[in-house]
Amino acid sequence: MTLTAWQQEFEHPWPLIGVVHLLPLPGSPLYGGRFSDVLERAVQDARTYREAGFDVVMVENFGDRPFFPDSVPAETVAALSVCAWEVQRLVGLPVGVNVLRNDARSAVAIASVTGARFIRVNVHIGAMVTDQGVLEGRAWETLRARRELGSEVFILADVAVKHAGPLVARAIEEEARETVERGLADGIIVTGKATGLAAPEMEYRRVKEALKDIPVLAGSGVNPENLPVIFPWTDGAIVGTFAKRGGVVTEPVDPERARQLGELRDRLLRGEISKR
């Protein structure tokens, strides 16, 4: 995907993507027993993002820890599909899908059926050591599944993904280039070491300078203090933790905290404040 295509896909050329951290889904250890509660919370969070000026939301099975390392069971696919569909139907924002920890094949299927615009893949190529063990990228499978389904869903792939470490250290810009050139990812996501933590500014800059015409997104730790810093080196942001009540990732989305980011992004786009 070219940067121009990405900028034309959503309402704003620099989209804010709000993460809908789903409550534990059926079959997971912490499931509460009422799927209606999962749906109600998902729709509520998505509506709060929309009212705060966000352009897109991404649903993910965040509450399903401990995560499967690769393929998730049928009940998880079914629940995620319903959530993605209902959020789109009731809220009206474009939707993305992330199937944790690394089930890109199911994510492509869910997105293709529900009309979601993109998927997020934690490990698209190579391998990373995680709390689920060694996760191996399956780009060959993901791209072929997309083709077989006749889907146009975008594949956004993490590099140096959070909650993980490499088997062999590599420069982040080298990994990003190979993820696009050899893994055929449509865009790149740069994250910090863990949920809610930002990457150093230099990592965004190095990836963006290596991939000038490819979308590069901030994938964790975005807040009002660092948004002006990373803005020049990114083409959008995936936001979760800061937008939650008290900055606690498991809490509902806070209207005021989300609005801070929405208004700041708009001011940056209009050139009203400096891009540090």
Q: Convert the pLDDT of each residue in 5-31 to its tens digit.
A: 888 899 889 999 999 999 999 999 999
Percent share of the chain, pLDDT over 90: 84
Please give the pLDDT value at position 162. Answer: 81
Mean pLDDT of 203-222: 95
Mean pLDDT of 90-108: 97
Is the pLDDT assigned to residue 252 strictly greater than 60?
Answer: yes
Is the pLDDT assigned to residue 166 strictly greater than 90?
Answer: no
CB-count burial class (<10 Å; 0-12, 13-18, 19+) for 271:
exposed
Give the Cα separation of 83 and 273 in Å (integer): 37
The third-level CATH classification (topology) of the domain covering 3-265 is: TIM Barrel (3.20.20)
Helix boundaries (H) for the chain = 3-9, 35-51, 74-91, 104-114, 139-148, 172-181, 201-210, 227-230, 255-270
pTM > 0.85: yes or no:
yes
Q: How many residues does the chain have?
A: 276
CA atoms within 13 A on the CB side of 11: 15
In the numeric block, which tokens belong to residue 258?
């989300």
* pLDDT classification of 276: cutoffs 50, 70, 90: low
Please give the pLDDT value at position 196. Answer: 79
**5, 38, 8, 62: which is closest to 220 by C-alpha?**
62
